[in-house]
Chains A and B, each alone.
Chain A
Amino acid sequence: MSAIVVVFLCSLHNNISNIYCIRGDASNFAIWENINFMVIGCIGGLIGAVFNAANENLTLWRMKRVNFSKKRRVVEVVLVSILVSTVSFVMPLLWNRCTDKPTDMQDWSNQEINLVDALVQFQCEDGQYNEVASLVFTDADTAIKQLFHFREVGIDDTSTFSSAALFLFFIPYISLATIVYGIAVPSGLFVPSLLSGAAFGRLCGHLLHKLDHTSGTFADSGTYALMGAAAVLGGMARMTISLTVILLEATGDMQYVLPLMLTLMCARFTGNVFNEGLYDIHIKLKGIPFLEPEVPSIAEKYEIVASQVMSSDVKCLRPIERAGVVYDLLRSCSHGTFPIVDSDSTGTLYGTATRDMLCTLLQRKAYGSPNILNAEDEAGLSLGPKRVSPLVQWDTLERVYPRYPTVDDVDMRSADRNCLLDLRPYANTAPYTINETASIQRSYRLFRTLGLRTLCVVNHTNQVVGIITRKDLLPDALSDSLLRGRNAHSENNNIGEFT
């Protein structure tokens, strides 16, 4: 918010120091037009929100119906390519109007003359061009330049690309972009949204120019096209700082800092009212447990402690463990980290062992003979100073990163099942722990700032009572555990009443 205030103060200051002017060394736009740009930003944010919602639903459908088989994915790609080619061929045919190329180009710059050469003739006579075909059949970056730079000539200021042509281009193009993003080809989001946004912005420029023919009240449509491109891309990806700088570097013109900032900010705010950015949506859809920078609002609203969200069904190991037990444990679950607890003192935390490490140890058969312990040790597998299995060096363990052996690579013979695996040299004896009474905000920040995957929950005597993973801290899981806690509470109450 303060940034906006500062920006406004700056613009106010400018307004006083050089009262708005469009001539000479002054900017391409008047300062009050920033309000127009902000409105464009808001509309762009709306367009982006619609795009995101449509793409989210489409991706959900795709995950259910297409993505499970490779054959279907290929078929989808083929079908979508046919659809895109058909639409992009039919659109110019539908337009079916030929426009004369501008001829009076005495005072035009080289750039503009080159752009005129890039116009596509399609089915028109020499010296004429099809407006929609020129946008569809050129490179995307040339089309963007055309939208940014063609000056308005002719009676109604809109001769190079007419409003109807822009509209006919914008709607199908952005719909196609929605469908294409997410199919099994590496496709981009930046250039299509810049192009459709540029068409949208130029359309806005044209409409404004229709209000006022005298030319000079409003900035040229190219400037509006730039703002439209920024607005639509900003509305989809919800980027502000980086997009401002990227667009600024691509434009190479410092005068657009202020309008770009305002436009992108408005696009972001408007879009965030409805949904999240496209990248965040796709992170969520992929099921990646990504923790947002800020603590979920549900954790702020209710008082949740670590013991409510943790899973209390902890699979623990002892410092010296039978190889068969370890193997069965790895087979039975897919956890990544296992707490090691002292067996003689009722579950005091000794350290943690990772799955990758256990698999490597088992694969290398780093276990000692089953008879090495004395009879009294045998009962509790208690800790003696002597090492009971051969040592594998750290180098050997980590050399295979990141392709650690999985449990399927382990070849466990029944004769070895009784052998002893000494985990003491390998255990992480100083794991991150949290007390069961700690607030959820605290454990969230631990996860977020330290980049943890798992966190052992201990009670005041350092006994393991549960384990928290990243998935337990996602907003949905938090509300689930809150609900579960409430149900358990009410059930307990009921029992109390009946007995």
Chain B
Amino acid sequence: MMSSLLSSNNITSIDFRNDREKRDFVACGAAAGVASAFGAPIGGVLFSLEEGASYWSTELTLRCFFCASVTITTLYGLKNLDNAWGQANMEKLFSFGEFNSLS
């Protein structure tokens, strides 16, 4: 799953019109990668905000957010193919499991 992070970072061969679009695309890719690898869409957006991008705009936040939400939707869809998209099985996403209070 970590490979999705790397691959999405490396798709730079598609034609972009200028450097800015390329930069934004990489930022969105990083957000989507973290979102899919850890099942953490908001964390992904914040990751590219904190680590990735030098020039951040509100528009880019929205783009990253959209990208991460599409990613997480796809992830839910693919991981829950076997139960005909019924109730999602949270165990199938990356998670640290449930911390239960020990008495």
**A interface residues (Cβ-Cβ under 8 A, vs B):** 22-28, 109, 111, 141, 144-145, 148-149, 151, 186, 188, 190-191, 220, 222-223, 226, 237, 239-243, 245-253, 256, 279, 290-291, 398, 401-402, 448-449, 451
Given contacts A188-B2, A249-B40, contact A240 B97 (CB under 8 A): no
Q: Which of A28, A151, A250 contacts B96 (CB 8 A)?
A: A250
- Give, as a whole number of angstroms, the nearest-CB distance from B86 to chain A: 19
- The secondary-structure label for the interface of chain A is helix
> Are B99 and A279 in contact, CB atoms less than 8 angstroms apart?
no
> Are B102 and A28 in contact, CB atoms less than 8 angstroms apart?
yes
Residue count of chain B within 8 Å CB distance of chain A: 37
Q: Does B94 sit within 8 A of A, measured CB to CB?
A: yes
Report 7 cross-chain contacts, Cβ distance below 8 Å, ordered by A residue: A226-B96, A241-B46, A241-B49, A241-B50, A245-B40, A448-B54, A451-B54
- Give, as a whole number of angstroms, the nearest-CB distance from A158 to chain B: 15
Between A and B, how many residue pairs show CB distances below 8 Å? 109
**Chain B residues whose CB sits within 8 angstroms of the CB of A451 once the complex forms:** 54-55
- Give, as a whole number of angstroms, the nearest-CB distance from A213 to chain B: 15
- Give, as a whole number of angstroms, the nearest-CB distance from B94 to chain A: 6
Q: Does B59 sit within 8 A of A, measured CB to CB?
A: no
Given contacts A242-B49, A247-B43, 4 further A-B contacts (CB under 8 A): A27-B101, A28-B101, A239-B50, A252-B95
Task: Provide the bound-state CA to CA distance between A256 and B101, in Å.
Answer: 12
Task: Provide the bound-state CA to CA distance between A151 and B100, in Å.
Answer: 10
> Are A22 and B3 in contact, CB atoms less than 8 angstroms apart?
no
Contact with A along B82-103 (1 / 0, CB 8 A): 0000000010001111111111
- Give, as a whole number of angstroms, the nearest-CB distance from B60 to chain A: 13
> Are B99 and A251 in contact, CB atoms less than 8 angstroms apart?
yes
Task: Provide the bound-state CA to CA distance between A111 and B95, in Å.
Answer: 12
Task: Provide the bound-state CA to CA distance between A243 and B38, in Å.
Answer: 11
**Chain A residues whose CB sits within 8 angstroms of the CB of B39 once the complex forms:** 249-250
Task: Provide the bound-state CA to CA distance between A449 and B55, in Å.
Answer: 7
Task: Provide the bound-state CA to CA distance between A451 and B17, in Å.
Answer: 17
Name which of B39, B94, B97 has the most chain A CB atoms within 10 A of its CB: B97
Task: Provide the bound-state CA to CA distance between A408 and B42, in Å.
Answer: 46
> Which B residues, 5 to 26, have Cβ-Cβ distances below 8 Å to chain A?
5-6, 15-19, 22
**Chain A residues whose CB sits within 8 angstroms of the CB of B37 once the complex forms:** 190
> Are A23 and B100 in contact, CB atoms less than 8 angstroms apart?
no
Closest to B34 in A: A246
- Give, as a whole number of angstroms, the nearest-CB distance from B41 to chain A: 8
> Are B94 and A141 in contact, CB atoms less than 8 angstroms apart?
yes
Task: Provide the bound-state CA to CA distance between A149 and B98, in Å.
Answer: 8
Task: Provide the bound-state CA to CA distance between A26 and B101, in Å.
Answer: 8
Task: Provide the bound-state CA to CA distance between A111 and B103, in Å.
Answer: 18
Closest to A293 in B: B54
